[in-house]
Structure 1
Amino acid sequence: MRALPVLASAVDFAKKRLKAQQQRGQVNRYAKHLFHLPQGEQRYRVGLYFADEMVNAYQLRQWYAPLQQLAQSVPVVVITRQPGTALALSEECPLPVHLAPTIGDVEALIDSQRIDVVFYVNQNIKNFQMIRFNEPNHVFICHGESEKAYMWSNQLKSYDYVFGAGQAARDRLAKNLRNYDATSRTRLVGRPQIDTEYLAPYSLNAKLPTVLYAPTWEGDRPSMNYGSVTSHGVKIIESLIADGGFNIIFRPHPRSGVNVEEYGADVARIRQKLSEANPGSAGRLLFDDTAHWGWQWSKADACITDISAVAYDFLATGKPIFITTPVSPEAVVADSPALEQLPSLNSVQAENAAELIHQALEMEDAERNALIERYFGDITPGASMSRFISETLDLLDN
């Protein structure tokens, strides 16, 4: 009987390999620029390594703007391993995209270019196929600051440096990683994404406050089960709609429902509720599945989110924010100033979300301002972007 699963696995592998071969053939015929290796002063100096499929492209999109700024000083490239991903990114990415599907292709890239810094936005196992090269500085920049256990994974020891947002990131690593010099191996760059202007794809009722509800997904293991859509989400949206005094931006995580069907079904329920209520609402009720993340920060006056990177992106705006309390007892909740001091929202309180937000909009929060300093440092316009570029250029000379 065991032969059947093995046979099925072999067939699945063969299908994936055939698909990859077909995609590579398509690249060779129609997108040869994805194999281009520049010469002379145009050789790449900085690479962002992305070995994933397009389903995780959200992790790299938020770095487009900072890397574009960096590219004004040195040539930057996005390095991909999958033909399908390379083709898709070449249509949307404002930076050069290079396809290196085999180890030989990766070696050719390293040997022919002057890459001194390689950035990583996730913990894909294929990262280690690039990390084995000694010449570049390997830098983990992640796809967002958060208090998830992911942020102090032992895998971080594999990178030469971690670019963290502020002192809280350094403290987090010092506390949780053994035999790791967090002082020398973390560089604090703020959150350069907040220094980028984003065009909003929607118009809102400017006379009403706007609430952003941006929950994370259900996670791929019990310890990462921070998602609030099923436990909180429907009640939050119902409360906001019933109040009638808000614009609503509901932005679910793009991986919602991948592992738990019910979670995805509840996202669909919320979408339907917003659609049905929108025609008679004074505010704009949006289901936001746009590709880009950033314009929501400037448009929203308050935010409800989970233990995720969204919390830290929005924290830097200085506006009111609520962090949902996970209902799963297995979810790892770290002791952190942010989780201790920012207002929490449990599943029972979710029914009164509208009232709590009205109260928060009328209050001044000195503790929140102190948290911003600890988590991001100087957030005056341009400061984070300047630090990111400065720290990167410094590594080119080391």
Structure 2
Amino acid sequence: MTGSLNIVILGLSLSSSWGNGHATTYRALIRGLDAEGHRVSFLERDVPWYASNRDLPKPDFCRLIYYSDIGEVIENHAGLIRAADAVIVGSYVPTGVTVIDAVAALQPRRLCFYDIDTPVTLAKLDRNDEEYLARRQLPVFDTYFSFSGGEVLTKLERCYGARRALALYCSVDASRYRATGEAFDWDLGYLGTYSPDRQPTLERLLIEPARRLPHLNFAVAGPQYPEHIAWPSNVERIEHLPPADHASFYSRQRFTLNVTRSDMIAAGWSPSVRLFEAAACGTPIISDAWRGLEELFCENRSIIIARRSEDVVAALTTMNPTDRRALASAAQATVMQRHTGEVRARELVLALRELPEAVNDIRSTPQPISV
């Protein structure tokens, strides 16, 4: 398989970043594919909560197709799927199990899965929760692309029956995430949708430091936070921040906070796209700790790893501007070399080129593998 590729992706959402991190991940990757000369068609289920919050309804870097159900996909887009060099189904696609079965039955040349939620997916499968992926379906995919790397890849192959598991980390669109040069409004900020398992860490690493440092300014941007949370008066709340405003938000912080979901911490090697976005904007990062983080960013050289409220307080009150800028520059250099959309697109294309075209008349769907 040489030349430009024709790729079809069925994903959660490209058009709306409201309440999900998938949109920005897909946007960076697909913009990278477009820049490399490849063609992408993205199929998105038309659901009301995204339809009413679309910040990219008509992308100029791919073809975006909305559909009402899988029957419409099969009726109107079977030819598109069969003609593609590769078809990729993403995690959290509505009625994902049915979608995967239907797409597999069309016998695409190459069928892959892109899991932007790998630790969550595996935890769900272990509970027999098959919301968007059934255990029996893992061996159907030619490659299982995983948001998580490290030992998770071995587990996918040995315990869950994936034919081939490869890390495909999220990435950043460096043309849109860069320093804006604006003055600082906040000493520490956080961008993320509310999640019950992240909230204790947010309490420890942002809310408690805000209480201890009433003379400093803090911000938390993201939807779905419960009304009962007691925000200190020096914490500004921003309900939703569209991607177009992310670079400005990061650029107006002296430091930004990264908080990781518990499933991601347990798995390790699961970087959030927020890490790469903030670093691309030249904003120093304070992050919670998890295995694999220091393989991406060097502690105290390109990132501060905070385990206690005191670690955050120390960073905000003792680090001088020169050291703060050096920390940000080191992280930015790492991201520009290894984690842009163009870099990730090249990794994806290289992996797809290594796959043979399917020759079986019918893709088998093996029985569940006992773990």
Q: TM-score range by the shorter chain?
A: 0.5 to 0.7
The corresponding residue for 1:130 is: 99
The corresponding residue for 2:183 is: 205
Which residue identity does 1:108 align to in structure 2?
A: E
The corresponding residue for 1:331 is: none
Residues 314/300 of structure 1: CA separation in 2 closer, same or farther (3 Å cut): farther
Q: What's the CA shift for 1:193? A: 0.8
Equivalent residues in 2 for 1:306-345, closer than 5 Å:
306-308=259-261, 309=272, 312-313=275-276, 320-324=284-288, 336-338=291-293, 343-345=305-307
Equivalent residues in 2 for 1:1-398, closer than 5 Å:
45-50=7-12, 55-72=18-35, 73-82=37-46, 84=48, 85=50, 89=54, 92-94=57-59, 95-113=62-80, 114-124=83-93, 126-132=95-101, 133-134=103-104, 135=108, 136-142=110-116, 149-150=119-120, 152-153=122-123, 154=125, 158=138, 159-164=141-146, 169-174=149-154, 178-179=158-159, 184-188=164-168, 191-193=170-172, 195-198=174-177, 204-205=182-183, 210-214=187-191, 217-219=194-196, 224=197, 227-230=200-203, 233-240=206-213, 242-244=214-216, 248-252=218-222, 254-257=223-226, 262=228, 265-266=229-230, 269-270=231-232, 273-274=234-235, 287=238, 289-292=240-243, 294-295=246-247, 296-297=249-250, 300-308=253-261, 309=272, 312-313=275-276, 320-324=284-288, 336-338=291-293, 343-346=305-308, 349=309, 353-360=312-319, 379-381=335-337, 384-394=340-350, 395=352, 398=356
Residues 50/179 of structure 1: CA separation in 2 closer, same or farther (3 Å cut): same
Which residue identity does 1:393 align to in structure 2?
A: V
Residues 57/225 of structure 1: CA separation in 2 closer, same or farther (3 Å cut): closer
Which residue identity does 2:41 align to in structure 1?
A: V
Please state whether the residue corresponding to 1:211 is helix, strand or coil. strand
- If you compute each CA radius of gyration, which structure gives the higher value, 1 or 2? 1
Report the structure, 1 or 2, having the larger helix content. Answer: 1
Residues 90/47 of structure 1: CA separation in 2 closer, same or farther (3 Å cut): farther
1:240-296 Cα shifts (integer Å, max 9, x gaps): 5x344x6x44324x2333xxx53xx44xx35x6446xxxxxxxxxx74731117514
TM-score, normalised relative to structure 2: 0.61
The corresponding residue for 1:278 is: none
Separation in 1, partners of 2:19, 2:87: 18
Residues 203/64 of structure 1: CA separation in 2 closer, same or farther (3 Å cut): same
Q: Which runs of 5+ in 2 are unaligned?
A: 126-132, 262-271, 357-371
Q: What's the CA shift for 1:301? A: 4.2
Residues 217/91 of structure 1: CA separation in 2 closer, same or farther (3 Å cut): closer
Residues 78, 98 of structure 1: 8 Å contact kept: yes
Residues 25, 170 of structure 2: 8 Å contact kept: no
Residues 360/199 of structure 1: CA separation in 2 closer, same or farther (3 Å cut): closer
Separation in 1, partners of 2:145, 2:34: 18
Q: What's the CA shift for 1:107? A: 1.0
Identity, % of aligned positions: 13
Residues 86, 98 of structure 1: 8 Å contact kept: no
Separation in 2, partners of 1:105, 1:44: 21
The corresponding residue for 1:330 is: none
Q: What's the CA shift for 1:69? A: 3.4
CA-based RMSD:
4.7
1:160-201 Cα shifts (integer Å, max 9, x gaps): 434457xx713333257743578942044x54315332378x
Residues 163, 187 of structure 1: 8 Å contact kept: yes
Residues 43, 65 of structure 2: 8 Å contact kept: yes
Separation in 2, partners of 1:88, 1:209: 27
| Structure possessing the higher relative contact order (Cα contacts under 8 Å, 6 or more residues apart) | 2
Separation in 1, partners of 2:143, 2:157: 14
Residues 67, 76 of structure 1: 8 Å contact kept: yes
Residues 89, 97 of structure 1: 8 Å contact kept: no
Residues 60/119 of structure 1: CA separation in 2 closer, same or farther (3 Å cut): farther
Please state whether the residue corresponding to 2:73 is helix, strand or coil. helix
Q: What's the CA shift for 1:140? A: 1.0
1:348-381 Cα shifts (integer Å, max 9, x gaps): x26x74433333557979xx99x98xxx996444
TM-score, normalised relative to structure 1: 0.57
Q: How many residues are paired up? A: 303
Residues 163/302 of structure 1: CA separation in 2 closer, same or farther (3 Å cut): farther
Residues 258, 287 of structure 2: 8 Å contact kept: yes
Q: Which runs of 5+ in 1 are unaligned?
A: 1-42, 276-285, 326-334
